[in-house]
A and B are shown apart, each in its own frame.
Chain A
Amino acid sequence: MTSIIARNVTIDFPIYGTSHRSLRQTLLARTGGLIRHEGQGRQQRVVVRALDDVSFTLNNGDRLGLIGHNGAGKSTLLKVLAGVFTPDSGSIHLEGRVSPLFNSAPGLDPDDDGYENIKTCGMFLGMSSEEINRKLPDIVDFCELGEYLELPVRTYSTGMVARLGFAIATAIEPDILLLDEGLGSGDARFAARAEGRMQALIQRTRILVLATHSDAMIKSMCNRAMLLEKGRLIAIGPIDEVINRYRESRIESSVA
């Protein structure tokens, strides 16, 4: 049974190497988490509360879209679910294999050739050697880089690197898929194929969590939505309701 149970998740980002003065303007900003100053004098630290007491449960079949302003905590929440950040308080309980799809190719090295990078990135994404070997024909076939795979990645065009990264990253078989919007995917023809492959990947996964600013994307891919604001969970539920709520809050903040 695949599930995500988050209980009162709170996360504080300590900010290093920033003078307090330069933060004055940030303090007045309308977006982002709550910024606090802890301690006195030289001991003073700047802390950003990125997630504040967030609780929710997701089960098999849930496709959740995260909505909110820049810095509302969408990406932070994805990273907490990915296990990159451990909550300061509260707990996360995950059942199933988790795959994050933020930057499409973790550990990609420009001096290595395509095949070497498929191996390295695959390993970082948690695939075994056998699994990588099994997926190799599919990855090679999908990225359509042909003989370029024998050349160092630094010789690739930006679009070609994106293709390779996308082909590797979407070869995984996760139970829980975490998706941050804006996965680069080459030219128009490739983008259409990428769309299809992404849909297939989403079909295979049991739970999807997607962070995006595109209402259309949420409507086509998700069946639930969550609105975050300054690290707090404002609403979770049916997509239309949550999107409306978000629009209202946008109007409020522009009036204020």
Chain B
Amino acid sequence: MRPDYAIARADLIDGICAFRVWTRLGWQEVKRRYKRTFFGPFWATLSIGAFIGGMVFIWAPLFKTDVSSYLPFLSAGLVTWTFATTLISEGCGTYTGGTSIITQLNFPYTVLNFMVVWRNIIVFCHNVLIVVIVVIALKVRISWQTLLLLPGIIIVALNGAWMTILLGMVSARFRDVPPLVGNIIQILMFVTPIFWFSSQLGPGAQPIITYNFMFHLVEVMRAPMLGTAPSLLSYAFTIAGLVIGWLVTFDLYARFRRRIPFWL
């Protein structure tokens, strides 16, 4: 299909300019989770917290580390992992979830993508409480490097944004994609050093980590939370992913945007 870059560009710019709409929709969705429940979105936080609390005493000895160094690592990693992967899995449903409006109105579809990203940033702000508690309780060293968390969030969010557009499109056309993505995420969770330290994998197996994009995505947020700076390699990977991902997505969006209402 012939790409129409003007339409894709207009959609993207109008989408960004409509920040009032997507910030509101993102908030509204979080507020809905608060309605009629006591903990609201904190239920997700509680379940991650309970998981960490239960597993830390098994895994710390299993991976031959002490709880005081394992616990911050596990909680920062898991909270980041949840943020990045929820973004990806919810991204699959961006356009199918917006069927009623996409098939009735002409508006920048990227509003829906930014809404998903924004909502997940808000949810992350809930979940990060676990890390804060752990860091304070175990007196993890806080340094200037901790501030790198902010650019880390931005890098992950911007990577997540192109992924939600790309996966949203592909999932609207091919309905097998969302469960497939779910499966891949599940496998990646065990392949990526979240539960175990990367140093524990022998030198021969290091390429599994070095070329794992998800590892670098986690690292740019996890390392600052633990008071250290992420490696330059992680920045290189995630920023390259951001640029290449956006270029590819933009091209595909220019080709297939007009098809989206037909797919729904």
- CA of A112 to CA of B32 in the docked complex: distance in angstroms? 7
The segment from B86-94, B99-107, B217-225 found at the interface with A is B99-107
**Are B101 and A13 in contact (CB-based, < 8 A)?**
no
Given contacts A14-B262, A16-B263, A84-B261, contact A103 B28 (CB under 8 A): no
Residues on B with C-beta less than 8 A from A116 are 28
- CA of A84 to CA of B20 in the docked complex: distance in angstroms? 22
A196 is an interface residue with CB less than 8 A from chain B = no
Closest to B7 in A: A86
Question: Which residue of the partner chain, among B28, B35, B106, B262, contacts A83 with CB atoms under 8 Å?
Answer: B106
Given contacts A120-B25, A120-B28, contact A100 B104 (CB under 8 A): yes
Residues on A with C-beta less than 8 A from B104 are 79, 82, 84, 100, 102-103, 106
- CA of A190 to CA of B259 in the docked complex: distance in angstroms? 39
- CA of A129 to CA of B21 in the docked complex: distance in angstroms? 10
Closest to B22 in A: A123
A124 is an interface residue with CB less than 8 A from chain B = yes
A148 is an interface residue with CB less than 8 A from chain B = no
Main secondary structure of the interface of B (DSSP, over half): helix
A residues 111-137 in Cβ contact with B at 8 Å: 111-112, 116, 119-120, 123-126, 129
**Are B100 and A106 in contact (CB-based, < 8 A)?**
yes
Closest to A101 in B: B104
Given contacts A123-B21, A124-B101, contact A86 B258 (CB under 8 A): yes
Residues on B with C-beta less than 8 A from A102 are 104
Closest to B105 in A: A106
A interface footprint on B226-264 (CB within 8 Å = 1, 0 otherwise): 000000000000000000000000000000001101110
Q: Report how many residues on chain A are interfacial, defined by Cβ distance under 8 Å.
A: 28
Closest to B174 in A: A16
Given contacts A82-B104, A82-B105, A102-B104, contact A109 B263 (CB under 8 A): no
Residues on A with C-beta less than 8 A from B20 are 123, 129
A182 is an interface residue with CB less than 8 A from chain B = no
B interface footprint on A24-59 (CB within 8 Å = 1, 0 otherwise): 000000000000000000000000000000000000
Q: Chain B: residues with CB nearer than 8 A to chain A?
A: 7, 20-21, 24-25, 28, 32, 35, 100-107, 173, 175, 258-259, 261-263
- List 8 tightest A-B contacts by C-beta distance, closest first: A83-B106, A86-B258, A106-B101, A111-B32, A123-B21, A102-B104, A106-B104, A107-B101
